[in-house]
């Protein structure tokens, strides 16, 4: 048997879960027809998250405990890459502190970008990280606003002890325009859902699955786990019926809890399937968008030992209910609040300084003195240790995966923040090193001297004049069971 296949997986879901009744409640006067969708919650990214930051967090979960030096390639699939011309995958590569000697590619243009990327990786020979991540923007009072969610999932493909192998794959490409968004535009234009269901999901997608099953000589009834990442539950059931999938094989799409997370959603559901699969079980994964990708996996013996640090279920559960629709609109740039003079600070980022300091800024790589062992951030020519004045002795020392403890903190209501007050403070890392940084996802009860925190990759600021996103690392509370 081949030792090439899916090695690990990881997902990331933002913490806030916006109550769909809050969305509906604000828009009911205008769009009463949305009532049918006003159930459950959708995952919403914070103001300082985007497709890149969520991709980094999913990838960190996926690579947990693995030698990152072995990764040879990275694909970031998204239809909401923050940059149109700057490799978004390159930012993820820097944040993950991967080797410079890797291939990195942004895949996009379709909701099946991630399944296409995964198929390509599985049909290659190198160790490749495939990530799907999206933070989609929908007009207020649209169906999409209610149906979508934010999140990311990552799958590591390569040689080793795979937990699943690709058995067969099949793709079709047809210019079926169920929705579209022109370059530079903010919002999708959606065609009638009944047509999408009948001619898209039940025809193009179902036919593609049937073609694969026929080709692979596998009966639909022998599929143990099927990923059909379609938000409309009725459509999913209809496809299952048409294909003859067995009862209970189709994975719940998590529409009620988090929403449709976009390109990463098939990978997120594959991750969930892999957590449930037993050796020898078959997993069908589909992606839909101007055609379809169909991938058939078989779980290996190694799946029995697959014990992820955080399951998809745990990520789904680890959310906080949110009914602040106004904040959601503001964070998505859909309403323009008066932000005050303190928001006017010029955030210009020179290309030279970011390039020079990229491992420190994007990778949170500090340094360790090879003589005294003193850890510091950022690195400098002369060590910060007052007892061991040493020059030119510092070696790279990654800090992103180390636990840190609060030395001091405040909640600042004066400085500008899109999510006031701004929590920030001083942290000491276990094993050495100190950092002053912002805290994310905290409230008054989450901060105290000595409290353990972990680092997350976030947006630090936006240069709104030149449209450049600045990233850095922030601290969130370390909860039991966190990586």
Helix, coil or strand: residue 200: helix
Helix, coil or strand: residue 1: coil
| Cβ proximity of 296 and 212 under 8 Å | yes
Going 334 to 336 to 341 to 345, the CA torsion angle's sign is positive
Q: Which is nearer to other proteins, 64 or 385 (CB)?
A: 385
Q: Which is nearer to other proteins, 269 or 375 (CB)?
A: 375
235: enclosing H helix or E strand: helix 233-243
How far the first Cα of the chain sits from its last, in Å, is: 32
Q: Which is nearer to other proteins, 311 or 422 (CB)?
A: 422
Neighbours of 400 (CB within 10 A): 19
User: Smallest distance, Å, CB 476 to other proteins?
Assistant: 15
User: Which residues lie below 8 Å from residue 69, measured CB to CB, with a gap of 6+?
Assistant: 99
Of 251, 207, 265, 220, the residue nearest 77 (C-alpha): 265
Q: What's CA 98's distance to the chain center, in Å?
A: 17
Of 11, 217, 2, the residue nearest 134 (C-alpha): 11
User: Smallest distance, Å, CB 407 to other proteins?
Assistant: 5
User: Smallest distance, Å, CB 474 to other proteins?
Assistant: 10
Q: Which is nearer to other proteins, 80 or 367 (CB)?
A: 367
Q: Which is nearer to other proteins, 297 or 429 (CB)?
A: 429
Q: Which is nearer to other proteins, 120 or 438 (CB)?
A: 438
Q: Is the peptide bond before 274 cis (omega within 30 degrees of 0)?
A: no
Q: Which is nearer to other proteins, 391 or 408 (CB)?
A: 408
User: Smallest distance, Å, CB 168 to other proteins?
Assistant: 47
User: What is the C-alpha to C-alpha distance for residues 274 and 295, in angstroms, rounded to an integer?
Assistant: 14
User: Smallest distance, Å, CB 48 to other proteins?
Assistant: 13
User: Smallest distance, Å, CB 439 to other proteins?
Assistant: 10
Q: Which is nearer to other proteins, 193 or 426 (CB)?
A: 426
User: Smallest distance, Å, CB 296 to other proteins?
Assistant: 46
User: Smallest distance, Å, CB 61 to other proteins?
Assistant: 24
User: Smallest distance, Å, CB 170 to other proteins?
Assistant: 46
User: Smallest distance, Å, CB 92 to other proteins?
Assistant: 18
Q: What's CA 385's distance to the chain center, in Å?
A: 38
Phi, psi angles (nearest 5°) of residue 141: 70, 20
Residues 355-375 as b or e (16 or more Cβ within 10 Å = b): eeeebbbbbbbbbbbeeeebb
Residues binding other proteins (CB under 8 A) = 341-342, 344-347, 349-350, 353-354, 357, 360-361, 374-378, 380, 384-386, 407-416, 421-422, 424-426, 428-429, 432-434, 436-438, 444, 448-450, 460, 470, 472
Phi, psi angles (nearest 5°) of residue 139: -65, 145
User: Smallest distance, Å, CB 410 to other proteins?
Assistant: 4
Which tokens sit at 336? 């323009």
User: What is the C-alpha to C-alpha distance for residues 21 and 41, in angstroms, rounded to an integer?
Assistant: 8
Q: Which is nearer to other proteins, 188 or 385 (CB)?
A: 385
Q: Name the H helices within 67-122.
A: 88-95, 113-122
Q: What beta strand segments (E) does 245-319 contain?
A: 282-288, 291-299
HSE of 285, CA atoms in CB hemisphere, 13 A: 31
Q: In what order do the strands lie in the sheet with 41-44?
A: 41-44, 16-19, 320-322
Q: Which is nearer to other proteins, 263 or 359 (CB)?
A: 359
């Amino acid at each position: 048997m081949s030792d090439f296949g899916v090695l690990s997986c990881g997902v990331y879901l933002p913490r806030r879960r916006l109550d769909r009744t809050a969305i509906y409640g604000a828009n009911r006067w205008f769009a009463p027809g949305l009532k049918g969708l006003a159930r459950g919650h959708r995952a919403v990214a914070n103001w300082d998250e985007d497709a890149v930051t969520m991709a980094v967090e999913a990838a960190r979960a996926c690579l947990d405990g693995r030698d990152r030096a072995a990764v040879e390639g990275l694909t970031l699939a998204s239809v909401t890459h923050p940059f149109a011309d700057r490799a978004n995958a390159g930012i993820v590569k820097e944040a993950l502190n991967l080797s410079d000697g890797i291939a990195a590619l942004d895949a996009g243009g379709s909701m099946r970008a991630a399944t296409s990327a995964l198929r390509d990786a599985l049909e290659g020979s190198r160790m490749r990280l495939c990530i799907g991540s999206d933070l989609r923007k929908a007009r207020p009072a649209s169906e999409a606003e209610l149906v979508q969610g934010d999140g990311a999932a990552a799958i590591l493909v390569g040689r080793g002890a795979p937990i699943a192998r690709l058995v067969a794959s099949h793709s079709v490409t047809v210019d079926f325009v169920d929705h579209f968004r022109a370059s530079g535009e903010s919002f999708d234009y959606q065609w009638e859902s009944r047509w999408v269901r009948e001619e898209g999901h039940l025809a193009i997608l179902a036919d593609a699955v049937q073609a694969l099953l026929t080709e692979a000589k596998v009966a639909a009834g022998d599929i143990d786990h099927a990923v059909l990442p379609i938000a409309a539950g009725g459509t999913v059931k209809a496809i299952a019926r048409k294909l003859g999938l067995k009862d209970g094989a189709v994975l719940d799409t998590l529409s009620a809890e988090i929403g449709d997370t976009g390109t990463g959603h098939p990978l997120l559901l594959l991750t969930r399937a892999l957590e449930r699969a037993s050796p020898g079980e078959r997993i069908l994964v589909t992606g839909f968008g101007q055609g379809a990708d169909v991938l058939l996996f078989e779980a290996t013996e190694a799946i029995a030992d697959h014990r992820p640090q955080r399951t998809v279920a745990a990520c789904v559960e680890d959310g906080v209910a949110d009914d602040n629709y106004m904040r959601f609109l503001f964070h998505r740039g859909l309403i323009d609040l008066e932000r005050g003079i303190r928001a006017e600070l010029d955030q210009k980022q020179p290309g030279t300084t970011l390039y020079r300091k990229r491992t420190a800024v994007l990778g949170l790589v500090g340094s360790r003195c090879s003589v005294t062992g003193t850890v510091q951030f950022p690195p400098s020519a002369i060590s910060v240790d007052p007892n061991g004045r040493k020059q030119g002795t510092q070696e790279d020392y990654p800090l992103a995966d180390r636990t840190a403890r609060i030395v001091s903190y405040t909640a600042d209501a004066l400085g500008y923040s899109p999510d006031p007050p701004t929590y920030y403070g001083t942290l000491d890392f276990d094993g050495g090193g100190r950092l002053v940084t912002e805290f994310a996802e905290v409230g008054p009860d989450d901060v105290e001297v000595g409290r353990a925190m972990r680092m997350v990759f976030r947006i630090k600021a936006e240069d709104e004049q030149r449209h450049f996103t600045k990233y850095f690392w922030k601290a969130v509370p370390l909860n039991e069971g966190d990586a």
